[in-house]
Amino acid sequence: MRNQLAQLLVEKGITDTKVLDAIRDIPRHLFMDSSFEGHAYQDKAFPIAANQTISQPYTVAFQTELLQLESDMNVLEIGTGSGYQTAVLLKCRARVFTIERQLELFKKTSLFFKKMGYRPKKTIFGDGYKGLPEDSPFDRIIVTAGAPEVPKALLSQLKIGGRLVIPVGFEEQIMTLYVRTSEKEFRKEEFGSFKFVPLLEDKN
């Protein structure tokens, strides 16, 4: 079923072999509620705890491909969620720093990573809008929730030459890539509409 899912993603335009190998390798059904296990290798999003979702595999693959990962890059992930995207990044040999603001999900996923042998560099309970300044700058940043605007903290924590992939918008989001070209300049590209749960900011 994983091979069939990877083949479907190829047909939808995914070409990065590292990403496709990760999709073939990772048991997505283990990241989901048992009532959805039978549907785990469909190209669909499904509900998880705390009113969040596990993203559609195509979305995971598309965002990861946009990152253009190389081995041992430091990657900041905003929105750990089920941990499936984290696992894909790890399989692509990234050094992953992942932030989750829903305590229920943070606890559940942290235990799951230990059980499964997934080893992010850091798993943090906190506000993704703030990023992780103490470990910046990052080679890559990926945001897995819909942001009404691009958090300035994330742009500032990107290395020169680094890439930020973020869905931007309210009801529907435009997948957006920012490449930092200098200390003060960024190149922006847009890649069509997607639908994500909202990126929530801690107002305290």
Strands (E), the chain: 46-47, 53-54, 74-78, 95-100, 122-125, 138-143, 158-168, 173-180, 186-194
What are the structure tokens assigned to 84, written together? Answer: 């499936």
User: Is 55 among the catalytic positions?
Assistant: yes
Q: Which tokens go with 83? A: 């941990």
- Classify 42 as helix, strand or coil: coil
Residue 202 DSSP symbol: -
**In which element (H, E) is residue 89 found?**
helix 84-91
End-to-end CA distance of the chain: 45
- The type of residue at 136 is S
Question: Using CA atoms, how far apart are residues 149 and 22, in angstroms rounded to an integer?
Answer: 30
Active-site residue, selected from the candidate residues 55, 82, 110, 136: 55
Q: Is 174 helix (H, G, I), strand (E, B) or coil?
A: strand
Which of 124-155 are b and which e, b meaning 16 or more Cβ less than 10 Å from the residue's Cβ? beebbbebbeeebebbbbbbbbbbeebbeebb
**Residues with catalytic roles:** 55
